[in-house]
Chains A and B, each alone.
Chain A
Amino acid sequence: QVQLVQSGAEMTKPGASVRVSCKASGYTFTNYDISWLRQAPGQGLEWVGWISVNNGNTNYAQKLQGRVSMTTDTSTNTAYMELRSLTSDDTAIYYCARHLTSLGRGVAGYWGQGTLVTVSS
């Protein structure tokens, strides 16, 4: 069965960087794109960006451009999301999500368990 297992909670300081990992299993990793989303405490869902696992193409939320990077390691079936120059506004649960289908417009069909990133001095 499809599983996405994310790395553990992170507590970091303003100005620092964080990298969250998302290890996939139960399917052919390169056949499905991955999106990252986040949810600030008590708030709704926000799309962070998307990566094509097949060719590495990315698309990031405009507000995070220049601070976010998404990569994948096909040898370990792992996706990564790095966010730099953190502020308290970046405090959130970060989710990776595999797209439901391999073709056409993607939708977040399978989700990781979430990684809490806390930014505090």
Chain B
Amino acid sequence: DIQMTQSPSTLSASVGDRVTITCRASQSVSSWLAWYQQKPGKAPKLLVYKASSLESGVPSRVSGSGSGTDFTLTISSLQPDDFATYYCQQYNSYPWTFGQGTKVEFK
């Protein structure tokens, strides 16, 4: 199975901050990488697929980049609605595997 490693596990930030979350795969997943946002008690929400494609309705302050084994999710100016947990996921091959999550919390 492909191992996905996210960092940091927790990120303390303020409204307006630029935040970056990284995700590393144990082997190349090409661009088959997705990012999800999850809020407490809710199902995950797809933000980015194919490493850099923004899902419909996701604000443009969110962006994804990378290919192969190294990926990033960037929020250019953190908004109150962005405080949540974020997961990366590879779908290059089954089984799909996820990073352990990054919790973005108020500083």
Interface residues of A (CB under 8 A from B): 35, 37, 44-47, 50, 59, 61-62, 95, 100, 105-109, 111-114
What 9 additional pairs, Cβ within 8 angstroms, besides A95-B44, A100-B49, A107-B32? A35-B96, A44-B99, A47-B95, A62-B95, A105-B91, A107-B46, A108-B44, A109-B49, A111-B44
- Tally chain B residues at the interface, Cβ within 8 Å: 22
Are A44 and B91 in contact, with the CB atoms below 8 A?
no
Residues of chain B at the chain A interface (Cβ within 8 Å): 32, 34, 36, 43-46, 49-50, 55, 87, 89, 91-92, 94-101
Q: Report yes or no: B100 in contact with A100, Cβ–Cβ below 8 A.
A: no
Do most interface residues of chain B lie in helix, strand or loop, or is the interface mixed?
loop
Residues of B contacting A107 with CB < 8 Å? 32, 34, 46, 49-50, 89, 91
- Closest approach, in angstroms, between the C-beta of B27 and any C-beta of chain A? 16
List, sorted by A's number, 21 A–B pairs whose CB atoms are closer than 8 Å. Answer: A44-B87, A44-B99, A45-B44, A45-B89, A45-B98, A47-B94, A47-B96, A59-B94, A59-B95, A95-B44, A100-B46, A106-B91, A107-B32, A107-B49, A107-B50, A108-B46, A108-B89, A109-B49, A111-B43, A111-B44, A114-B43
